[in-house]
Amino acid sequence: MNVANGNAIVVVVLSGDVAGELSDELLEQAPAKEANTMVAAMSDLDLRMAVILPRRVRRVATGRIDTVSVVSIRQNAYVANLDLELMLTDLETLVNIESPSRDVQALVVSAAALSSLIEQRLGGTAEIIDSPVGPHVHWSGGGEPKVLVLGHHDTVFPFGTVAARPFKVVEGRAMGPGVFDMKAGIVQAIHGLAQLPDLSGVEILFSADEETGSHDSRGLIVQRALACGVALVLEPSADGGALKTARKGTGTFELLIHGRASHAGLEPEKGVNALIEAAHQVLAVSTLGDTTTGTTVTPTLASAGTADNVVPALAKVTIDVRVEAPGEKERIEAAMAGLHAHLSESRLELRGGINRPPMPASSSAWLFPLAVQVASDLGLGEIAGVAVGGGSDGNFTAANGVATLDGLGAVGGGAHADHEYVLVATMPDRARLLGGIVAALQAR
Ligand SMILES: [Zn+2]
């Protein structure tokens, strides 16, 4: 189905032994899921074979349907192809195969499961790309690359989490480690793409190290994104399903403060107190943020010392940095590098930096309106776009000039937290949205 043409929504009348009528009015009244059930009940035909193209119905010969005629064209017929039960089965499989970042053994199993799922649903061969941090998974629909569907299969949850809280669905919410960030996004994308009659120009890349900064996969991600020219990122949506049109650049600094130990009771004057020096540094970095440019600099972790009665010889402070305006990355990096010690004999050592450059709003300047149009054509209603503080691999693709739209994954909440969840009822529509956007990009 070429949804790029947009105005085409299909309602068909099937006639034959087992066929019923699917009228415009009926569809109008029926939520998508019921429409699905109605269509399925009408015949045993595999609905995928009746993929309806604008102004054209492709009829496939099995089933007992005598005629298929187009009454009017609405995209709602498309949803009938999505099988939520199957999506949930695939989601359960992926969630219950744990894939913590850095756990190479677990990631090997996860990559194998993921590649076999892709092959099962989309055909072709998914390539497993080994890396020291665990394998990435790449798949191509062939032809000239036009769109990269980008995600990650690692999660922030340690191995063993599934034993404590395996995949489950309670009151319409799917739960389990990594379900929201981003296994449901992966499942939606695969099922959304499976609806398209042709996947040429489409590439999929699922990396194994996004949650730890994508240090290994970054080169591969940028290479494939540049080859495709467009990146659709499957990170979870913002509130209410909003897409992510801009992201701040993100970084973590670690400041090590070296002093000198001494006995806190007998001769404290002989020590150099790294904790006191750390206090000076925390106050100094806390002034580097700038609300007018959206830059935040936040000390988040601190530790010092070895015992109650010892002047601490070492302190450590971790600082979270977010930047969005041009030049702010450089300003903060220079300011951090320019920090100086207050106590005469203490010494500072700075590690880390701003890893992910900002994803500016310009990177989604034409992609977001296209997504809005697709959502409207598919009857999915209005869709919002928001700028967010968190980083993703979309930051890397955007920084390399690749048109990038993010937040195309699951609708739910609680990312990285134990109560993380996905709203199950939204999954088919999100799959349709992703499939629709890809189809529109293929048609460009
Ligand atoms: Zn993620």
Neighbour-count burial for 313-336, b at 16+ CB within 10 Å, e otherwise: bbbbbbbebbbbbeebbeebbeeb
Q: How far is CA 231 from the centre of its chain?
A: 11
DSSP 3-state of 224: helix
Distance 234 CA to ligand 1 centre (A): 8
Give the whole-angstrom CA distance, residue 259 versus residue 86: 60
pTM of the model: 0.76
Distance 244 CA to ligand 1 centre (A): 13
Look at residue 431 in the predicted model and tell me its pLDDT: 97
Distance 212 CA to ligand 1 centre (A): 10
| Ion ligand 1: residue ranges with CB closer than 5 A | 181-182, 235
84-247+359-442: CATH topology is Aminopeptidase (3.40.630)
Average pLDDT, the chain: 85
Distance 235 CA to ligand 1 centre (A): 5
Cβ atoms of 207 and 149 closer than 8 Å: no
Look at residue 17 in the predicted model and tell me its pLDDT: 36
Neighbour-count burial for 143-153, b at 16+ CB within 10 Å, e otherwise: eebbbbbbbbb
pLDDT band at 80 (very low <50, low <70, confident <90, very high): very low
Distance 147 CA to ligand 1 centre (A): 19
Q: Which tokens sit at 52?
A: 């309806």
Distance 345 CA to ligand 1 centre (A): 43
Distance 210 CA to ligand 1 centre (A): 7
Distance 73 CA to ligand 1 centre (A): 37
Distance 217 CA to ligand 1 centre (A): 14
Look at residue 20 in the predicted model and tell me its pLDDT: 36
Q: What is the pLDDT of residues 221-279, one digit of tens each?
A: 999 999 999 999 999 999 999 999 999 999 999 999 999 999 999 999 999 999 999 99
Among the residue ranges 50-54, 96-100, 222-226, the one predicted with the least confidence is 50-54
Preceding omega of 427 cis (within 30 degrees of 0): no
How many residues in the chain?
444
Percentage of the residues of the chain whose pLDDT score is greater than 70: 82
Give the whole-angstrom CA distance, residue 130 versus residue 136: 6
Q: What is the pLDDT of residues 2-13, one digit of tens each?
A: 222 222 233 344
Look at residue 144 in the predicted model and tell me its pLDDT: 96
Distance 421 CA to ligand 1 centre (A): 14
Distance 151 CA to ligand 1 centre (A): 7
pLDDT at 52 over 50: no
Q: What is the pLDDT of residues 377-389, one digit of tens each?
A: 999 999 999 999 9
Distance 231 CA to ligand 1 centre (A): 15
Look at residue 81 in the predicted model and tell me its pLDDT: 67
pLDDT at 361 over 90: yes
pLDDT at 35 over 80: no
pLDDT band at 53 (very low <50, low <70, confident <90, very high): very low
Distance 308 CA to ligand 1 centre (A): 41
Query: Which of the pair, 65 or 347, is modelled with greater confidence?
Result: 347
pLDDT band at 373 (very low <50, low <70, confident <90, very high): very high
Look at residue 444 in the predicted model and tell me its pLDDT: 87
Distance 124 CA to ligand 1 centre (A): 26
Look at residue 159 in the predicted model and tell me its pLDDT: 96
Q: Which tokens sit at 172?
A: 């319409």
Distance 240 CA to ligand 1 centre (A): 17
For residue 276, give every residue at least 6 positions away whose Cβ sits within 8 Å of its Cβ, in sequence order, or none: 343
Q: What is the pLDDT of residues 387-424, one digit of tens each?
A: 999 999 999 999 999 999 999 999 999 999 999 999 99
Q: What is the pLDDT of residues 183-217, one digit of tens each?
A: 999 999 999 999 999 999 999 999 999 999 999 99
Neighbour-count burial for 189-211, b at 16+ CB within 10 Å, e otherwise: bbbbbbbbeebebbbbbbbbbbb
Q: What is the pLDDT of residues 107-157, one digit of tens each?
A: 999 999 999 999 999 999 999 999 999 999 999 999 999 999 999 999 999
**Which top CATH class is 250-353?**
alpha beta
Distance 393 CA to ligand 1 centre (A): 9
Distance 392 CA to ligand 1 centre (A): 7
Give the whole-angstrom CA distance, residue 75 versus residue 10: 5
Alpha carbon of 250 to those of 102, 318, 354, 361: distances in Å?
A: 20, 13, 6, 16
What would the mean pLDDT of 162-168 be, rounded to a whole number?
Answer: 96
Distance 156 CA to ligand 1 centre (A): 9
Domain ranges of the chain: 3-79, 84-247+359-442, 250-353
| Closest listed residue to residue 93, CA positions, set 156, 159, 167, 188 | 167
Look at residue 326 in the predicted model and tell me its pLDDT: 83
What would the mean pLDDT of 280-288 be, rounded to a whole number?
Answer: 97
Cβ atoms of 405 and 368 closer than 8 Å: yes
